[in-house]
Chains A and B, each alone.
Chain A
Amino acid sequence: MPVRVGLLLLALVASWPCGAAAQPRLGVNLYTLEGIVAPDRTVARQTGWFAISVGIVGDRAPARWVGVTSFVDWRQDPFVGREVIRLLMPADPTLLLTGPPDLLARFQTAPPGARLAARGMLDFRSRVFMVSAVTVTTPGSP
């Protein structure tokens, strides 16, 4: 656990802004993803602003579709988030999740229609999104 925290802090320090504000920094950065889990790409496009496929590192199961409703960097800048996703979009899966098994399980078992919020470090080059928080809520649930 301390190693993971250390790596996160190291990545945060390394990604400290020193350039133009709206330019995406294509290294390792903290992002927050929000979206709606969908059974396929068509539904994902309807429910979110854009559809991405999300796989799990080391998992051979087919990627799941998410209709993304928000993708912002650590400064809550959606312009950067949009640019990063646009650059990643041709790849399939668009993102590869990794992280604590219990957090990954929340995503893997989320039913279609569930609302997903995930925060973590995204390595742009490998498309790996190392999650540190995942919440799944179902509309209508308390």
Chain B
Amino acid sequence: MSTTRRTACIAAALAALLAVASRGMAWSPADLGTVISMQGTLVRDKRAADAVGWGGISFGFTGDNVRTLRWFGVVHASLFGGNTFDAKSAVFRAHDVPALTVVGPPELARKLVALPDGAKVQIEGVIDRRSRTMLLDVVQPLE
């Protein structure tokens, strides 16, 4: 096989590999996560969450707070741009406990853990629906 022909074969193989790799890396906007903003009340259990909000969801945590579970009665939820129509399906998994696992950042996770029951809070962040994890951006008490 001539050098030119060998070079052409290698180039073709590399191109094929790149094509396969790029196909495997195909992504959609949903893969980047779902930006969400929620308002609601932190409470002690599911029953209370269902009572104070339209629906109760639970937050789990990682690290030192891996055994902590916070219940949240959601009264409002919207996706990026203010879309409320698709927000429920993003956050509400009544049968999953926790519905969302907070994966950081640590200071906001600690802030969410430390807020008392009864606190009205605005929580914002990015949700990965497949892993049901949430990266916090805002934990803001409302009163």
Within 8 A of A (CB), among B70-124: 74-78, 84-85, 87-88, 92, 120
Q: A70-B78, A78-B76 are in contact. Are A49 and B85 (CB under 8 A)?
A: no
Q: A79-B39, A82-B54 are in contact. Are A70 and B76 (CB under 8 A)?
A: yes
B54 / chain A contacts, CB cutoff of 8 Å: 49-50, 82
A-B contact sample (8 more), CB < 8 A, given A21-B143, A69-B84: A47-B88, A48-B88, A49-B54, A49-B74, A69-B85, A70-B78, A81-B76, A82-B75
B76–A72 CB distance below 8 A: yes
- Residue of A50, A79, A81 with highest tally of chain B CB at under 10 A: A79
A69–B87 CB distance below 8 A: yes
Q: 29 A–B contact pairs at CB < 8 A?
A: A21-B143, A22-B143, A34-B84, A34-B85, A35-B85, A36-B85, A47-B88, A49-B54, A49-B55, A49-B74, A49-B77, A49-B88, A49-B92, A69-B84, A69-B87, A69-B88, A72-B76, A78-B39, A78-B75, A78-B76, A79-B39, A79-B41, A79-B75, A79-B120, A81-B75, A81-B76, A82-B54, A82-B76, A115-B85
A48 / chain B contacts, CB cutoff of 8 Å: 88
Contact size range, B: 10 to 19
Whether a CB of chain A sits under 8 angstroms from the CB of B53 is yes
A81 / chain B contacts, CB cutoff of 8 Å: 75-76
B77 / chain A contacts, CB cutoff of 8 Å: 49, 69
- Measured in the bound complex, the distance between the Cα atoms of B54 and A84 in whole Å is 12
A21 / chain B contacts, CB cutoff of 8 Å: 143
- Measured in the bound complex, the distance between the Cα atoms of B78 and A34 in whole Å is 11
Within 8 A of B (CB), among A82-132: 82, 115
A35 / chain B contacts, CB cutoff of 8 Å: 85
The smallest beta-carbon distance between A50 and chain B, in angstroms, is: 5
B120: nearest residue on chain A (CB-CB)? A79
- Contact code string B13-29 (vs A, CB < 8 Å = 1, else 0): 00000000000000000
B39 / chain A contacts, CB cutoff of 8 Å: 78-79
B78 / chain A contacts, CB cutoff of 8 Å: 70
- Measured in the bound complex, the distance between the Cα atoms of B41 and A57 in whole Å is 35
- Measured in the bound complex, the distance between the Cα atoms of B76 and A35 in whole Å is 12
A70 / chain B contacts, CB cutoff of 8 Å: 76, 78, 84
B39: nearest residue on chain A (CB-CB)? A78
